[in-house]
Amino acid sequence: MESSAGMPHARIACMTHEVGRSGDLVRVSDDERDRAAEQVREAFTAGRLTAVELDDRIGAIYQAASRAELEPAIRDLPASGRRAAHLPDRRPTLRFAAGVFGGFVRAGAWTVPPRFTSWSMFGGGRLDLRDAHFVSHETTISAVALWGGTRITVPDDVEVDVRGVGLFGLFGKRAARRAEQGSPVITIRGLALFGVIVTRSGPAGNDTRR
């Protein structure tokens, strides 16, 4: 006759398995999706994921209806630490801006590619990165002003390296600053020839047009 001594343990094991399954089927919340997306973006910043993997995982996270569907996107990633500021959930659509006998403005919540180029020739431009999202942890802005001017405004919570040269003109380095370790890095380089390029920093949301 089979002993019943082991039955409680078997029942507990079965109940634990069912609880685990039901936990996986719990509907996922918007906050859980946002936390998972932040975890994926931090992994991308650290070089653990490619841009394609970032896009795929972000898409899977925001399409997930249950925790079981959400978990594969973050299963092989370390827990989220410091918030990865300014990281994107979409790819850039513009890599160049020019003001030739005219002007250009790039501002607001736009997506900045790893390398962006601006030209101002007998014109002016305004490049505002404070509310922008960056595809890469390191971004290079190449700015050229020939008998023109460009104003570049960067976030006040990133590291900025200004390497531009003014030749019969001015290439301002006011925005250059150090930031805490692990912060995104923006390098601004280029040439102001009989022109002016002004760099400055500020918090997100402030309008510098005045």
| pLDDT on residue 21 | 46
Model pLDDT for residues 175-193, shown as the tens digit of each residue = 999 877 667 899 999 999 9
Please give the full DSSP string across 52-104, using - where no structure is assigned. Answer: HHHHHHHHHHHH--BHHHHGGGTTTSPPP-S--TT--SS--S--EEEEESSEE
Domain extent for 62? 7-73
**Inside any domain, residue 150:** yes
User: How far from 99 is each of 14, 96, 132, 145, 199, CA to CA, in Å?
Assistant: 69, 11, 20, 9, 17
Residues 151 and 186 in one domain: yes
Residues 106 and 53 in one domain: no
Model pLDDT for residues 93-132, shown as the tens digit of each residue = 789 999 999 999 999 988 888 899 999 999 999 999 998 8
| pLDDT on residue 208 | 46
Q: State the Cα–Cα distance between residues 29 and 58, nearest whole angstrom.
A: 15
Q: Sorting pLDDT into bands at 50, 70 and 90, what band is 43?
A: confident
Which of these three, 24, 41, 73, is where a domain ends?
A: 73
